[in-house]
Amino acid sequence: MSDLAKLAGVSKATVSRALSGSELINPATREKIQALAKQYNYRLNTQARNFRLKESLTITVIIPSAESAKWQISDPFFLELLGSISVCLMEKGHEMLLSAVDFHLPDKTSGLSKINSDGIIVIGQSYIHKGLNEYARSHPQLVVWGARMEDQDYCCVGGDNLRGGLLATQHLIERGCKHIAIIGDREVPEGNLRYQGYLRALQDAGIERNPALEISIGSQKNEGYDATLLLLSRGVKFDGIFLLSDALAMASISALDEHGIAVPKDVAIVGYDDISLARYYTPSITSVHQDREIGGRLLVEKLLQLIDGQEVESFTMPTNLVVRKSSKKTTQATVTQHPADNRE
């Protein structure tokens, strides 16, 4: 920069002002300097600038990774949300630092405090709601995609999971299902709310809950597959399954298919998230839609407001069901399998 200053015959300060497009500078000088900068292919040292300004223009996005397969970034929906966040951040002139954190590790949120950026977006509360609460008290520059909780000290954006679970289950009931299984991770707040919606729908319809139809697992595809096999092995009747994510739904359909059980003929399937592939699966998957574009935008905007020192409210996005083939009504049938293997 001092070189450039010499070349232009002005001081460093003037160059700095010219390059940052300051108001209080002679337009002629500014253009001269900018031309010179371009000519010599000079670029501001962002590190120095950020250091000086005590800002990084960088946002850290944390996405939970799957414990079992660390190199595999979790849920496709989160990835699609990530795409939306990435675009918004870019529009606002921020960089995106991506960090896949395994929240199953003992230290859990301890990694958060090592982060050095203007703000943090956590995609999915995972198992760390309390940790987030604690962290947020000292570092308010945090927004989280997830479920609204009673005791929530951080800003949270997410879908209406209770309603989503309700819609999904009601749909299966309306479609004629009497024995509706539910498979997914109920340990995480979002999953739990979807489960509550499921319970409520059953209750509203006067259907008694059957614990043998409920399986709480992680969110990996193989777990969806295995859980479906487990369900089959229980020998309990079921004619519909509500899966707490589309990835699980796909794996489940795959498992059913391998056992000669047809979807939707024998069993109706409803997933969650309406990931882009849901429409292109065979059969296409009925799913609870969450708008990732709006979601990502909201997360970014709220975080930026937070960084700006503004007060910010959490937001729950409306949610709707997209009906596709996997739950289409056909000639009814109910599956019973291997009543032998009847452990838990």
Judged by the rule CB under 7 A, the positions of this chain that interact with DNA are 1, 9-14, 16-17, 19-20, 24-30, 44-45, 48-49, 51-54
The H or E element that residue 121 is part of is strand 119-123
Residues 6+ apart with CB under 8 A from 228: 183, 241, 251, 252, 255, 256
The piece of 32-40, 113-121, 163-171, 314-322 that touches a second copy (CB under 8 A) is 113-121
- Smallest distance, DNA to C-beta of residue 16, A: 3
CA dist., res. 8 & res. 22, Å (int) = 17
Nearest to 100 by CA among 60, 152, 146, 46: 60
Show contacts with a second copy in window 118-177 (CB under 8 A): none
String of contacts with a second copy for each residue 267-286, x by CB under 8 A:
---------xx-xxxxxx--
Q: Which is nearer to DNA, 308 or 311 (CB)?
A: 308
Residue 19 binds which of a second copy, DNA, none (CB < 5-8 A, kind-dependent): DNA
Residue 333 binds which of a second copy, DNA, none (CB < 5-8 A, kind-dependent): none
Residue 221 binds which of a second copy, DNA, none (CB < 5-8 A, kind-dependent): a second copy
CA dist., res. 130 & res. 189, Å (int) = 11
Q: Is 56 in the site for a second copy (CB under 8 A)?
A: yes
Q: Is 250 in the site for a second copy (CB under 8 A)?
A: yes
Residues 6+ apart with CB under 8 A from 113: 135, 139
String of contacts with a second copy for each residue 286-315, x by CB under 8 A:
------xx--x-------------------
Cβ atoms of 183 and 244 closer than 8 Å: yes
Q: Which of 3, 257, 318, 332 is the binder for a second copy (CB under 8 A)?
A: 257
CA dist., res. 105 & res. 207, Å (int) = 39
The piece of 27-35, 86-94, 171-179, 205-213 that touches a second copy (CB under 8 A) is 86-94
Cα-Cα-Cα-Cα dihedral of 114, 87, 219, 328, to 10°?
A: 170
Q: Which is nearer to a second copy, 58 or 330 (CB)?
A: 58
CA dist., res. 249 & res. 75, Å (int) = 12
Q: Which is nearer to a second copy, 117 or 152 (CB)?
A: 117
Q: Which is nearer to a second copy, 78 or 198 (CB)?
A: 78
What secondary structure letter does DSSP report for 307?
H
Q: Is 70 in the site for a second copy (CB under 8 A)?
A: yes
Show contacts with a second copy in window 220-249 (CB under 8 A): 221, 224-225, 247
Cβ atoms of 73 and 100 closer than 8 Å: yes
CA dist., res. 165 & res. 196, Å (int) = 7
